[in-house]
Amino acid sequence: MDAIERLRIVVLTYVVGFPLGGMTWHSLQYALGLADLGHDVWALEDANDWDNCYDPTTGEVSTDPAYGLRYATDVYDRVGLGDRWAYYRTDADTWLGPAADRVLDICANADVVLNIASMHPMRPWLLQIPHRVQIDTDPAFTQIRNLTQPGFGALAAQHTAHFSFGERIALGDAAVPDDGIAWLPTRQPVHLPAWSVTPGDAHARFTTVMQWDSYATREWGGVTYGMKSASFTPYLDLPKQVEAPLELALGRYERSAADRLAAAGWVLSDAQLATWDPWVYQDYIRGSAAEFSVAKQGYAAEWGGLTYGMKSASFTPYLDLPDHVDASLELALGRYDGGTADRLAAAGWILSDAQAATWDPWVYQDYIRGSAAEFSVAKHGYVTSRCGWFSERSAGYLASGRPVVVQDTGFEGILPTGAGLLAFDSPDEAAAAIDEVRARYADHSRAARDLAEECFDARRVLPHLIARITGASRRDGQT
């Protein structure tokens, strides 16, 4: 790549705020792939305007980025971007990280900014970048947000180009609500040098990492767009139909606390769904009659003979409060779902902890390599819309030489299927695909990596993306 073609590109990442391996790879592979192509790449992250820092050691979400900063330092150092990242802490109006002092200059001279998954607001220093690119990784749901939540529509309007993992939107045959934006097709790039291939074991578990419910179901035009939980029901008894062991790495739940609260009359809902973004959070508040809450005793610590505990320690005296009032009392709690876990386990699914499987990027890769293959359903909304979405997680399995058996979202006809990647639309098709992978495991494993190289290699995906962004003449084919 000569000097004229070399661009300064800002990749908006989500590493500090959600320091777990799968999410890290999602945006990191854009930065690594573009750097490998010779571009001048900088990874910037914005805390946004609400509590946006998750600490997996405590389960707390707050404005404190301490854990995430340590995690990001380790990750960026290990991948060779140790001096090329910075984090904007909005509550303190300050930049942190090795490139903190250079951010304004970096943005003033940048050519392109990639807003992956629309996670970041367009701050003044980003609005001056000529090519501002929105990458929609949640098709159908993104378009509904744009149509129903003014903040999302306004954010979309601040970009100069729009791309979507819903590759069928541009073909005109996807049942995705029309938000008036000309979405161009793209897909997850995979930085293949970071994904080594090791021999797989055909008798190991078919696995996936998933959230049962990511956020609230959406409706538009009389059509319901649901979560994976809505897709999963027909496949609940699949373990009884195949010899392969099937494992789900699910988001954490806490059965005992939920049971005690429900038995006492509390109405329970999901805190993450209630606070998914600033506008959903406001809607949740406006939909409430009032707030009732206890306060933390303090953070878990002891000093001077006093114990400073969490809200759980404050709550016990109020456990039976619903019995004493006529009002309906609801708690939006951190994700729990003991009942779902019981149903899955009873049906034969092996359950593991998604957080443990994705503790950092390398633990996540080890989890994938320790699997025979991936089996997964897709979000109901992706299946209903037939938008052509394909998971960045599944791309990682393919890159690791692990076959992928996943529910079709319309990607058949866009991606080659039948070898390495097998799509299904029914439990019988799913069972047949699993049996086929086990019967010809070596062939499907080789085909998986071949497919990753053909369709997801960052050296193929990203040059096409950049050409479309900058208006270069190449307009043929897919990413």
Q: Which amino acid, residue 399?
A: A
DSSP 8-state code for residue 124? H
Residues 299 and 368 in one domain: no
Coil/strand/helix, residue 152: helix
Length, in residues, of the chain: 479
Whether the Cβ atoms of residue 70 and residue 110 lie closer than 8 Å to each other = no
Q: Which two tokens stand for residue 27?
A: 């945006």
CA neighbor of 45 nearest in space, from 85, 105, 84: 85
Considering the domain architecture, whether residues 150 and 200 belong to the same structural domain is answered as no
Residues 301 and 381 in one domain: no
Q: Which of 333, 367, 390 is the last residue of a domain?
A: 333
Classify residue 185: in a domain, yes or no.
yes
Which of 23, 113, 35 shows the shortest CA–CA distance to 68? 23
Q: Are 9 and 112 in contact (CB under 8 A)?
A: yes
Q: Which residues pair with 436 in a beta bridge?
A: none
Q: What is the CATH number of the domain that holds 25?
A: 3.40.50
What is the tally of structural domains in the chain?
3
Same domain, 322 and 346: no
* Residues 143, 147, 153, 159, Cα dihedral to 10°: 40
Contact yes or no for 6/36 (Cβ under 8 A): no
Q: Are residues 185 and 226 in the same domain?
A: no
Ramachandran region, residue 117 (left: φ > 0; alpha: ψ -120 to 50; beta: rest): left
Spatial neighbors of 133 by CB under 8 A, at least 6 apart, are: 112, 113, 114, 115, 159, 160, 161, 162, 163, 469
Q: Which structure tokens are listed for 313?
A: 């320690």
Q: Is 475 a member of any domain?
A: no
- For 252, which DSSP code? P
Q: What is the pTM of this model?
A: 0.82
162 lies in the same domain as 86: yes
Cβ density class 148-182: b for 16+ within 10 Å, e for less: bbeebeebbeebebbbbbbbbbbeeebbbbebebe
Residue 478 is predicted with a pLDDT of 41
Residues 143 and 68 in one domain: yes
Domain that holds residue 156: 8-191+457-470
Within 10 Å of residue 241's Cβ, how many Cβ atoms?
16
Close Cβ partners of 342 (under 8 Å, ≥ 6 residues apart): none
- Which CATH number do you get for residue 449? 3.40.50.2000
- Residue 346 shares a structural domain with residue 242: yes
- pLDDT by 10s per residue, the chain, length 479: 444 489 999 999 999 999 999 999 999 999 999 999 999 999 999 999 877 899 989 888 899 999 999 999 999 999 999 999 999 999 999 999 999 999 999 999 999 999 999 989 999 999 999 999 999 999 999 999 999 998 999 999 999 999 999 999 999 999 999 999 999 999 999 999 999 999 999 999 999 887 777 777 888 889 888 888 888 888 889 999 999 998 888 765 445 555 555 666 655 655 545 554 445 555 556 556 655 554 443 333 344 454 434 445 544 555 565 566 555 554 544 444 567 777 778 888 888 888 888 999 999 999 999 999 999 989 989 999 999 999 999 999 999 999 999 999 999 999 999 999 999 999 899 999 999 999 999 999 999 999 999 999 999 999 999 999 998 433 333 44
Same-domain pairing of 35 and 84: yes
Claim to verify: residue 351 and residue 441 sit in the same structural domain: yes
Nearest to 230 by CA among 220, 250, 248, 216: 216
Q: Residue holding tokens 């080594």?
A: 196
Q: Are residues 237 and 341 in the same domain?
A: yes
Q: Is residue 479 part of a domain?
A: no
Alpha-carbon dihedral sign for residues 383, 389, 395, 396: negative
For residue 143, what are its two tokens? 């378009």
Whether 265 is covered by a domain: the verdict is yes
Q: Residue 411 falls within a domain, yes or no?
A: yes
- Strand pairing of 301-303 and 223-225? unpaired
- Of 187, 191, 227, nearest in space to 210 by CA: 227
Strand partners, 95: 88
> b/e map of 217-240 (b: 16 or more CB within 10 Å)?
bbebeeeebbbbbbbbeebeebbe
The conformation of residue 136, written as its DSSP 8-state character, comes to: E
* Paired tokens of 92: 């303190």
What token pair was written down for 455?
């369709």
